[in-house]
């Protein structure tokens, strides 16, 4: 970022600790997905776009995004209500009513709301539906004050075995294959969440011990959990740090890391 790139209209005047007038300028910070997509080649996606054509591929990905948004909304409303009430029936009724209202307000197509609801039911009838009773947050913002990236975690909670844990939900048409680019990207995402939460909870001397992605497939009623714990989580934390530095160098924002 060069000083000549600054848009003066974005400068916000406020006061500092001593009450002095001080100008503040917003810095564009990449999301976790942006860092990964710009640093990890994905021949599977490239082949999909080549085969389908850019316009058709974008339509398919948009439809998948609507479906994912619907499922996330149903799960989030259920998990939050269940953590508060410990009442399964009330929580199911709550998400069935409130989620549809919220999704219609977001102009999610009704057919995608129905698809998302069906995926939610797979979650509801799985072993994971009562896993997040000791809930810390849903859709929680994450950020790294040293590597300058940000994200949002679907669920942060205290696991009975691992303690502080984080989980994200994904939808898909099939299982994620071991050793695939998609699995690599998911584990890098988990590493990024681990890094951010470690920094955010540093003063409390608390570290993330488990990070996972819960995959709900349209083709199976069995959920797939991709998790990183222990040494593997530490490995992907370091791998994401390296990618994040590469991203900042590529985009001429490495001054943030100094």
HSE-CB of 133 using CA atoms within 13 angstroms: 8
Mean pLDDT of 185-201: 96
22 three-state secondary structure: strand
Pair 118, 221: CB distance under 8 Å = no
- Give the pLDDT of residue 48: 87
User: Which pLDDT value is given to residue 144?
Assistant: 95
Q: What is the pLDDT of residue 186?
A: 97
Among left, alpha and beta (phi > 0; psi -120 to 50; other), residue 83 is alpha
- Return the closest-CA partner of residue 97 out of 82, 77, 115: 77
Tokens of 138: 């849903």
What is the DSSP annotation of 97-125?
HHHHHHHHHTT--HHHHHHHHHHHHHHHT
pLDDT-based confidence at residue 5 (cuts at 50, 70, 90): low
Q: What integer best gives the mean pLDDT of the chain?
A: 93
pLDDT value of position 21: 94
Q: Is the pLDDT of residue 3 over 80?
A: no
In angstroms, rounded to a whole number, what is the distance separating the alpha carbons of residues 29 and 125? Answer: 38
pLDDT tens-place string over residues 46-81: 888 999 998 999 999 999 999 999 999 999 999 999
| Domain limits, the chain | 32-257
pLDDT above 70: residue 93: yes
Instruction: Report the percentage of the chain scoring pLDDT > 70.
Output: 98
Query: Which class for 137: exposed (0-12), middle (13-18), buried (19 or more C-beta within 10 A)?
Result: middle
Alpha-carbon distance of 100 to 88, in angstroms, equals 18
Q: Which of 31, 115, 107, 125 is nearest to 72 (CA)?
A: 115
Residue 2's pLDDT is 52
- Alpha-carbon gap, residue 75 to 189, rounded angstroms: 20
CA distance 167 to 137: 11
Question: 11: buried, middle or exposed (CB in 10 Å: 19+, 13-18, 0-12)?
Answer: exposed
pLDDT band for position 206 (50/70/90)? Answer: confident
Assigned fold of 32-257: Lambda Exonuclease; Chain A (3.90.320)
Nearest to 100 by CA among 85, 78, 132, 122: 78
Enumerate residues 6+ apart whose C-beta is below 8 A from 152: 139, 140, 141, 142
Question: Does the structure show a pLDDT above 80 at 6?
Answer: no
pLDDT at 17 over 60: yes
- pLDDT at res. 212: 97
Query: What is the per-residue pLDDT for 27?
Result: 82
Q: What is the pLDDT of residues 111-155, one digit of tens each?
A: 999 999 999 999 999 999 999 999 999 999 999 999 999 999 999
Sheet containing 163-172, strands listed edge to edge, beginning at the edge strand earlier in sequence: 135-143, 150-159, 163-172, 210-217, 224-229
User: What would the mean pLDDT of 211-221 be, rounded to a whole number?
Assistant: 95
């Amino acid at each position: 970022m060069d000083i000549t790139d600054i848009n003066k209209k974005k400068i916000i005047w406020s006061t500092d600790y001593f009450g002095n007038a001080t100008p503040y300028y917003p810095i564009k910070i990449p999301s976790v997905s942006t860092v990964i997509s710009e640093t990890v080649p994905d021949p599977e996606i490239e082949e999909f776009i080549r085969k389908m054509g850019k316009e058709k591929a974008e339509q398919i990905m948009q439809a998948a995004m609507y479906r994912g948004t619907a499922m996330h909304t149903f799960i989030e409303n259920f998990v939050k209500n269940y953590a508060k009430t410990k009442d399964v029936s009330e929580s199911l009724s709550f998400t069935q009513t409130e989620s549809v209202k919220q999704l219609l307000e977001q102009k999610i197509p009704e057919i995608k709301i129905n698809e998302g609801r069906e995926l939610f039911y797979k979650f509801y009838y799985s072993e994971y539906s009562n896993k997040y009773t000791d809930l810390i947050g849903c859709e929680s913002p994450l950020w790294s004050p040293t590597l300058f990236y940000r994200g949002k975690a679907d669920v942060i909670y205290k696991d009975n075995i691992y303690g502080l844990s984080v989980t994200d939900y994904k939808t898909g048409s099939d299982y994620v294959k071991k050793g695939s680019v998609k699995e690599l990207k998911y584990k890098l995402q988990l590493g990024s969440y681990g890094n951010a939460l470690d920094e955010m909870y540093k003063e409390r001397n608390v570290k993330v011990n488990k990070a996972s992605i819960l995959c709900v497939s349209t083709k199976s009623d069995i959920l797939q959990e991709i998790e990183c714990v222990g040494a593997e989580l530490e490995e992907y934390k370091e791998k994401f740090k390296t990618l994040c530095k590469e991203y900042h160098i590529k985009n001429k924002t490495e001054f943030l890391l100094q």
